[in-house]
Structure 1
Amino acid sequence: MTTLYKSAIALAVAASFATSMTHAEATAGKALSLEEVLVTAEKREQSLQNTPISILAFSAEKLARFGVSDLGDISGLAPNVEITPFPISRSSLIVFMRGVGNNDSQSTQDPAVGVYLDGIYMARSIGLTSDVADLERIEVLRGPQGTLYGRNTTGGAINLITAKPADEAGISQTVSRGNRSYWKSLTKIETGKVGDVAAKLTYLRSAHEGWVKNAGPGKNFGEEEKSAGRFALRWDVNDAISVDYAYDFSEIDGPQHYYQPIAGVSPNPAVPASGSRNGSGQWFGGVLPSNTEISGHSLIVSLETSVGVLKSISAYRELNELIVQDYNAGTPGFRVNVDVDQEQFSQELQLVGDYGSEFNYVAGLYYFIEKGNELESDTFAGFPLEGRQVISESEAQAIYGQVTWSPSALDHRLDITLGGRYTADDRSADKTSITFVGGAQSGSESWSHFNPSLTLDYAWTDTLSTYGKVVSGYKSGGFNVRSTEAGFQPPFDEENILSYELGLKSTWLDRRISFNAAVFHAKYTDMQLQQITNNATIFLTDVFNVGEAKVDGFEFDLMAVVVEGLTLQASYGYTDADFVEYIDQRPTAPTFGQDVSDRAVMPYAPEQSFTVGLDYEKPISIGVLQASVDYNWRDERYGTAFNDDLQGFFLDDNGIVNARLAVTEISIGKANLEVAAWGRNLDSEEYKIHSISLGTYRSAYFGEPKSYGIDVTLSF
C-alpha cells in the first residue's frame, strides 16, 4: 500500500466522520461542544482559535492519554514536526519543523527549533528526553518565531508548561507496570494555599529493560532508569505582585541503543547485515553505562502596573552527560565516549499590556550566557582516532516588541500586528585535538540581526478568521566541535529564513467542529549543514553555510465531536523542501566549489505526515469510561543532506498504532481511583530510528516494539 494511498484512506475516514456530523442531531450542551483551549504562545493567555499561529496544544489530559512525560514522546503526534533521538545520545533530540532543524548535537552549534520550559530557553538538546515531572500543557508552534522567541527558532518553538501549585491541598499517587519489566511511580503533593503561599512537590521514578537483549556482559541495550522531581512555590504577595520559584531535576541511567548492520559487509560474520530488527546483540568488551543529569532554578516575579503586567524571568540551568556508544556489532571497532558539561543563565524583562480598546503590546529585554566543556574520545579496536576538548562560551542580548492594532472602526475584527527583535550574539571556543598537527585552535566571533514580522488577522465571524503573516527567523553562527583541522576556522555564519503564511481558524456547528489550516512558503538562506568529508572518518564533520533552500507546504488540524462522547482528531502535514543551491565545500571532493543541489536532499523532511485518533468518554455506574486510539504516519526521509552514501542515512516510512482504555473518577470514600490500560506500537511496526554509513557497511538502530502496561492512580 503506497504512502499516498494510506494518506488518502486516513483523510477520507476523517472527512467522513466530519461530514456525518452535519446529519446528526444538533443537541445543545457541553457534551456536544469542544472545550476551549487556552495557550500562551504570544506571551498572554488567549484562546488557541484566536491565536494567528499554526499551533498544536496538548493538555494534561491529552498528555496522559498519549503517555507523554517528555518531549520525545510527542513524536508522531504533530505533523510537519520531526523529533528523533540523536545517534550518539538517546537523551538528545533532533527536532525539525517544516523541514527546518539541526541534525547534530554540539555545544557550539545551536538548534533551529527553540524549546522552552515555563518560558525559559533550553539551549542544548541534551536531556530533552528527560522526564518533566508535572506537565500541564505542551504547545507546538510551527514556523519561525523570531520576534517573541528570538534566535534559534527558524523552524519553530515548543513550550513545555508545568502545572502550578493549586489552592486546594491534595495528594495523588500513580503506579504503573508493563512488559519488559517496566514500572513507574509518580507522586504529587499539594500543600494548598496557606496564607498567601502555595507549594507543590512532584517526584517521578521509572525503569524498563531494553528491547534488544545483550548477549554479552552488562545490561540490555536501551535499558534505562529515570528519575525526575520538581518543587514549585507560589507567593501571592498582594493583589498586584506574585512570585513563582521552581527547582527541577532529572536523571537518566542506562546503556545506549544497539546499532546493527543493515547492509554491506558486516564487521561481524556472526551478525550478518539485516534490514529487520535484531532481538539480541553485543558490544566487544561488554556494554557500558551512560548517564545524564540536568537541574535548574527559576524565579518569576509578576507585577501589575498601570501600563500592563511587568514580569521578570530569571533562570539558571546546568547539565552533565557521560555517554558511550559502539557501532560495531560485537567486534572491536568504532566507539565514541563523550563527556559534556554545560551551564546557562538567562534574564528576561517582559511587559504585556493594553492601551485603550484598540492596542495591545508585548515588549522585552533579554540576556543569556552559556558555558560549555565537551570532551570526546573516539577509538577503533582500542586505537585512538580522535581525542578532543572544546571549551566554549556564548552570550546573547536582545530587545523586542510587538504591537497589535484592532481598529474600532472595523468593530475590532481586524488585527494588524507589527513586531521586531534585535539580537546580538558573541561566541568563543578553544579546541585541542590529537588530529590537529598545528596545535590548539581558538576563535571568537560576533553576529547581530534584526528580525521583523507582520501579521494581518481578520475575524469574518465570531467563529471564522483568516490571517496572513510574513515572519523572519535567525539562527546564530558558531564553531564546529567535530571539525577537521582546516574546518574549525573560520566559524560558520548565521542562517536566516523568511516565511510567508496564510492561515484559517474556524469552529462550526455550535463548537462541535474546529478546523484550522495553514499554507506556507519559506526561503532558507546561508544554511548551516554538516558535511562528512570521508565515510571512513565519520567522527570528523565540518559545518558550512552551503546555500539556499525553499520550503513549501500546508497543514491542517481537525477536531470534531462525532456523537456525544466521541471526539475525532486528525492532523495532516505536507512539506515540499528542496535545495536551490548547495555548494560542495569539501576540499578533496571532485565537486569542490560546485553546486550539487541536484544530489542533495533536505534532511528530516518527510513529504507527508499525519495522525488520526478517536477519543470516547461515557459515564458508567462506577465512574467515567475513557477509550482512545490513534495512528500516526511518517513518509520516508533522510538523516543527512549530502553524503557519498546517502542511502546509509535513509529512514523508511512507518506507521504506529497506540491505544488506551481507562475508568476514572471511581469513588473510594474521599478518594478518587483511576485505572488505565495502554499499548503503544500495537502491531510491533519495525522502523529505524537512525541509520548511518560506516564505510563498508551501514548500521542502524530500531524503534521500540509493542509495549503495554497498566496505570493506577489514587487521588485524595
Structure 2
Amino acid sequence: MTSMWKAALLAGAAWSAAATAVSAQEAPVANSGLSVEEVVVTARRREESLKDVPVAVSAYSGETLARQGGADITVLQQTTPNITVQTARGSNSTLISYIRGIGQQDPLWGYEPGVGLYIDDVYVHRPQGAVLDVFDIERIEVLRGPQGTLYGRNTIGGAIKYVTKRLGGEAQGKVRGTYGSYNQTDLLVSGQTPVGGGLSVGGAYALYKRDGYGKNLTTGAEHYNKDVQAIRLSAEYAPNDDLFFRLAYDHVQDDSNARHGRRELPTLVGGFKVIDEYDTQAGFGDDNSVETEGLSLTAQWNASEYLTLKSITASRKGHTDTVIDFDGTPVNTLDIPATYDDRSFSQELQAVYADDNVQGVFGLYYMNSQASGEFDTIAGNLGLSIADGGKVSTQSFAAFFDFSANLTERFKVSLGARATRDHKRSTTFRLFYLGATRSPYQGGTPRPILQTRTNYGAQTTFSQFTPRVSASYELSDDLSTYVSYSKGFKSGGWDMRGDALITPQTVNGYKPEVVDAYEMGLKGYLFDRRVSFASAAFLSKYEDQQVSTQVVVPSGIASSIDNAGSSTLYGVEFEAKAKLTANLSANVALGYIHAEYDTFNRFVPAGAPNPLNPSQVIPAGGQTVNVADLYGFQNTPEWTGNVSLTWVGELAGGTLAVTPMVSYRDSYQQFELPLPLLDQDAFTLVDVTAIWTAPGNHYKLALTGKNLTDERYRTGGYNFAGATFNNSVIGFYGPPRTVSASLEIAF
C-alpha cells in the first residue's frame, strides 16, 4: 500500500504541474531566450515533437551522451527510468536488457530478447556483440512498452533505437584519442566526402584498448580488460529531393579476455577464498573472440507530398568462441567452453503517410534467421563432460499498421494492429561423455558417448494478433495528455539445455508469452517553455512469462524454461529538463515499478528439494509447484533515478560545458529466487564530465570521471552452491572508478 501511495504522489505531482502550466498560459512571462530545445524523435517512423507522441520515449542526442560520459549503451541504465541495460554475466559484449520488468537474461541461442535493439531500423536478433559503443551517432531513443505496431520485429517490452549519423554534403573528418585509468587507450577516426552526382561516402574506425580492472591470479592474464575494434562504412545516393539510398556496413571484433567472475563463497575443499571483486582464480583459460557484422540497404521514395515508401533490406551474422569458469578455481569443477553462431536476413517494406489530419505507417516484415551453438559442462567432481548443442531456425512474417486521425483541432485517436506468424524448427542434443575434459564437439579427445540424455527435433508455428489503441488531447499549445492500450507478444521455443531424462516435458517446448499494457501520460512544456517534461503511469498484465532456471540435482544441472503463469506490473515515470539560467540547465529522471507474480508454476525435477518445503525431496517424475510467494522479478529495481546539471560558459575563447551526474538504482535480484549472496543492494553512481570546445568547433578537450565514489556493485552471477560443484557461487561487477581525458580534432 505504501508503494502505491508513492506512485500516486509521483503521478499527482505531474498533473499538478500541468494545472500550473495551463494557468500560466493566461499570464505568460517572457523568458529572455531561456527556452529548452524542442526534442524531435522518429519513434513512430516519422519526425515528430516528443510532446506529440503518445508513447513513453526517452531520447538522447550524441552531444547529450558525450556530456554524460556514455562510452556504450549501458549508460542508458543510469539515465532512463525503469530499464536495465548491461553486459551479460560472463561476457564482455553480450547485452542484457529489461524495460519495465520485461526482458530476457539468458542469451543462449533460440531465446528471443524481450527488448528489441535496432541499428538504423535494422533489428539485431541476437544479443552477442550488442553492447554497442557510442561513436559517430545521431541519437539513441528508448521506447517503453510493446511496440509491435511500429517496428519490424516483435518488441514485447520496448525498443532501443541506435541511430547513426547521415552523411552531409561537405567533406569533413574527425580524429579523437583518449587515455585513461587502467591504461585505457582509445582511437576514433571518421570522415566523409561527397563524390558527385548526389553520391557521398563515409566511414569510421574505432579502437578500444584497456588493461583489466583485475587479474587472473592463476594464469596471470588481465581480467575485465577491453580489446575491441569496430568499423562502419556507408554510401548515400540522393539523385534528387525525392529519392534516397543508403548502403551501410558494420563490423565489430571483440578479443577481450574471457570474464570468469569472482567467488562469493570459499570452496568446500581446496582452500580457495573470496578475493577482490575484479580478480579471479579461474584456470580454464582466457581465450575469447566475438565477431559480428551487418550489411543493410535502405531505399526511400517520396512518392507524393504526403506519402513516403521505404525498403530496408539487411543481413547480419555473428560468431563467438569463449570460455567461462563457473567455479573460479584452477580445478575443473565447472568449466564451460562455448561456441555460438548466428545469421539472419530481413526485409521490411513501409508506407508512411502524413497530411494535416491523418498520419501513420503500414509495414510488411520478413525475417529468416538461424542461431546455433554448442557448449560443454566439464564437471570434474562428477568425472563427466556434458555436451549441449543444437540449432533454431525462424521464419517470421508480419503485417502491421499504426494510424492517427485528428478528430478535432486538439483531440486525436490512434489505432494500430499487428499480425505475426513465426515458424520455428529446432534440433537439440545433450550428451554425457566419460572424463572431465572437453567433449569432441569442443575439440576434445574423440571418445564414445556415455549416455544420450536429449536428442530430438521439433517444429511449430506461433501466430498472434496484437492491437494497439490510443487517444491524445492537447490541453494547451504546450501540453498534451494521452491514454493507450497495447498488446505485446513473444513466440515460444525449446530449452537448449533441456535434459529429457530429468525433465521429459522439455521436448514439448515452452509457449509464447503475452502482455496487456495500459498507459496514461502527460508531457509538454512548463513556465513559458523553460521546462520540458514527460510523465507516464502504466499497468501491465503479463501472462505465460518465460523463465529460465538451472538447479543442481544428483546427476548434474537440470534446466527448465517455465511459462511461469501470470504477474502484475505497475509504476510511474517522470523525466524533465529545465533551463535554470542562461548558463545552467538540469535534467531529472525518476522511475518506480512494482512487479509481482500472481502465479508462478515452476516444474521441479525429481531429486531436487521442494521449494515450499526444502526438507522434502521431489518424487520420481517431478512436480509442478506454485512458488509465487517465494519468487520475485530479476533485474527490476523498484526505484531508479538520475539528476544532472550542465553549466556552459566561456573559457579561453572557447566554450566549457561541465556536467555532474548522480544516478540511483534500488536493490534488485539477479534471479527470480532471492539469493542474498548475489542480489545487489541499492547503490548510487557519481560521474562528472567537462568538455571544452575551441572556437569553430575544430578542437575539443574532454575530461570524464565515472563512478567517482568507487562503488562495487554486481551486474550478474551464477549460483551452484553445495558440495556437488564445490560451492560455485560467482559474481560479476560493474566498472570501478575511472578517469579519462580525450582530444578531438575536426577538419
Rounded Cα–Cα distance in structure 1 between residues aligned with 2:667 and 2:268 = 24
RMSD in angstroms over aligned alpha carbons? 3.0
Task: Specify the alignment match of 1:396 in structure 2.
Answer: 396
Give the match for residue 322 of structure 1: 321
Kindly report which structure 2 residues correspond to 1:112-151, keeping only aligned pairs within 5 A, or say none. 112-131=114-133, 133-149=135-151, 151=153
Matches within 5 A, 1:34-53: 34-53=36-55
Match of 1:290? 288
Query: After superposition, what is the alpha-carbon deviation per residue over 1:117-153, rounded to whole angstroms, capped at 9, x for unaligned?
Result: 1101111111112435422110000111121126541
Quick check: 1:474–1:496 contact (8 Å CA) kept in 2? Answer: yes
Query: Which SS does the other structure have where 1:646 is aligned?
Result: coil
Q: Is the 8 A contact 2:248 2:297 kept in 1?
A: yes
- The aligned residue for residue 691 of structure 1 is 717
Partner of 1:681: 707
Q: Take 1:593 and 1:296, find their aligned partners in 2: how far apart are those partners?
A: 43
Bigger drift between 519-528 and 213-222 goes to 213-222
Match of 2:249 among 240, 247, 250: 247
| Structure-2 separation of matches of 1:309 and 1:199 | 24
Q: CA deviation at 1:258?
A: 4.0
Instruction: Quote the offset at 1:544 in angstroms.
Output: 1.6
| CA–CA distance in structure 2, aligned partners of residues 218 and 377 of structure 1 | 24
Q: Is the counterpart of residue 480 in structure 1 residue 495 in structure 2?
A: yes
| 2:479 corresponds to | 464
- Distance in 1 between residues matched to 2:686 and 2:260, nearest whole Å: 24
| CA drift at 1:35 | 1.1
Q: Are 2:367 and 1:365 aligned?
A: no
Q: 1: distance between equivalents of 2:153 and 2:300? A: 24
> 4+ runs of 1 displaced by more than 3 Å?
25-30, 263-268, 277-281, 381-385, 535-540, 645-649
Greater Cα offset, 53-62 or 581-590: 581-590
Residue 445 of structure 1 and its aligned partner are, at CA, apart by 1.1
Unpaired runs of at least 5, structure 1: none
2:518 to 494, 500, 504: 500
Question: Partners of 2:461 and 2:66 in 1: how far apart?
Answer: 44
Query: Which range is displaced more, 618-627 or 160-169?
Result: 618-627
| Distance in 2 separating the partners of 1:217 and 1:134 | 37
Cα distance in structure 2, aligned partners of 1:538 and 1:637 = 28
Q: Give the SS at the match of 1:168.
A: coil
Is 1:659 aligned to 2:717, yes or no? no
Measured in 1, the distance between the counterparts of 2:510 and 2:546 equals 7
Return the match for 1:558 from 576, 580, 585: 576
CA distance in 2, matches of 1:146, 1:180: 43
Cα shift at 1:537: 7.5
8 Å CA contact retained: 2:704, 2:740:
yes
Aligned CA distance change for structure 1 residues 714 and 576 (closer, same or farther; 3 Å): same
Q: Percent identity?
A: 27
Counting matched residue pairs gives 697
Deviates more, 1:570-579 or 1:131-140: 131-140
Match of 1:524 in 2: 542
Deviates more, 1:573-582 or 1:192-201: 192-201
Q: Could you tell me how far apart the structure 1 residues matched to 2:356 and 2:302 are?
A: 18
- Which residue is equivalent to 2:509? 491
Q: Which one of 251, 255, 258 corresponds to residue 256 of structure 1? A: 258
Q: Aligned in 2, Cα 1:192/1:617: closer, same or farther, shift over 3 Å? A: farther
SS at match of 1:434: strand
Between stretches 466-475 and 299-308, larger displacement belongs to 299-308
Greater mean alpha carbon deviation, residues 486-495 or residues 554-563: 486-495
- Secondary structure of the corresponding residue to residue 64 of structure 1: helix
1:650 equivalent in structure 2: 679
The amino acid that maps onto 2:738 is: S
Q: CA 1:398–1:545 in 2, change beyond 3 Å: closer, same or farther?
A: same
CA distance in 1, matches of 2:215, 2:77: 25
Q: Is the 8 A contact 1:150 1:421 kept in 2?
A: no
Show CA shifts across 1:405-424 (max 9, x none). 102xx22x111000000000
Alpha carbons 2:266, 2:272 under 8 Å: kept: no
| Alpha-carbon distance between aligned partners in 2 of 1:279 and 1:248, rounded to the nearest angstrom | 31
| Distance of 1:309 and 1:201 partners within structure 2 | 27
Inter-partner Cα distance in structure 2 for 1:98 and 1:343: 29
The one-letter amino acid paired with 2:372 is N
**CA deviation string 1:485-542 (max 9, x = no partner):** 2253101111000011010012012221012110011100011111224277785421
State the alpha-carbon separation in 2 of the partners of residues 363 and 279 from structure 1: 49
1:183 equivalent in alignment to 2:192: no
Q: Deviations over 1:654-683 (max 9, x none)?
A: 11111111211345xxx7111011110001
In structure 2, what is the Cα distance between the partners aligned to 1:27 and 1:653? 42
Question: Which one-letter code corresponds to 1:594 in the other structure?
Answer: V
Unpaired runs of 5+ in structure 2?
Answer: 433-450, 613-622
Matched, 1:96 2:98: yes
Q: CA–CA distance in 1 between the matches of 2:321 and 2:737?
A: 29
Aligned residue in 1 for 2:615: none
Measured at CA, do residues 674 and 439 of structure 1 come closer, stay the same or move farther in structure 2, by a change above 3 Å? closer
> Which residue identity lines up with residue 569 of structure 2 in the other structure?
V
3-state SS, counterpart of residue 169 of structure 2: coil
Are 1:674 and 1:714, in contact at CA under 8 Å, matched by a contact in 2?
Answer: yes
Counterparts of 1:387 and 1:512 in 2: how far apart (Å)?
61
Q: Is the contact made by 1:480 and 1:487 (CA closer than 8 Å) also made in structure 2?
A: no
Distance 1:242 1:279, change over 3 A: closer
* Conserved 8 A contact 1:170-1:192: no
